[in-house]
Amino acid sequence: MTKATSNVSRFEAEGRATFDRWSVSMLYGDYAPQPELGYLTRREGLLGTASVKGGGELGDIRRSPMGP
């Protein structure tokens, strides 16, 4: 937030959820120009991720009906 105008120059929001073994998240960012860093225009972006936790169900391939 700029002190002179009280305008927000950078903003990020994130949401996360977990369902059993599944995890998802979404991140939104909105950034004002930062010429001192080489960013001359306003930027915004959206990032999503998802993951699944394994439970060790693979077992031993030597004992698998499909193995030797």
Domain count, the chain: 1
In a domain, 44, yes or no: yes
Q: Which of 54, 30, 28, 26 is nearest to 42 (CA)?
A: 30
pTM as predicted: 0.62
The boundaries of the domain holding residue 31 are: 1-53
In a domain, 58, yes or no: no
Contact status, residue 5 vs residue 33, Cβ threshold 8 Å: no
Average pLDDT over residues 20-36: 94
In a domain, 32, yes or no: yes
Q: What is the mean pLDDT of the chain?
A: 83
In a domain, 64, yes or no: no
In a domain, 68, yes or no: no
pLDDT, one tens digit per residue, over 53-66 is: 876 555 555 655 55
Cα separation, 29 vs 49, whole angstroms: 15
In a domain, 63, yes or no: no
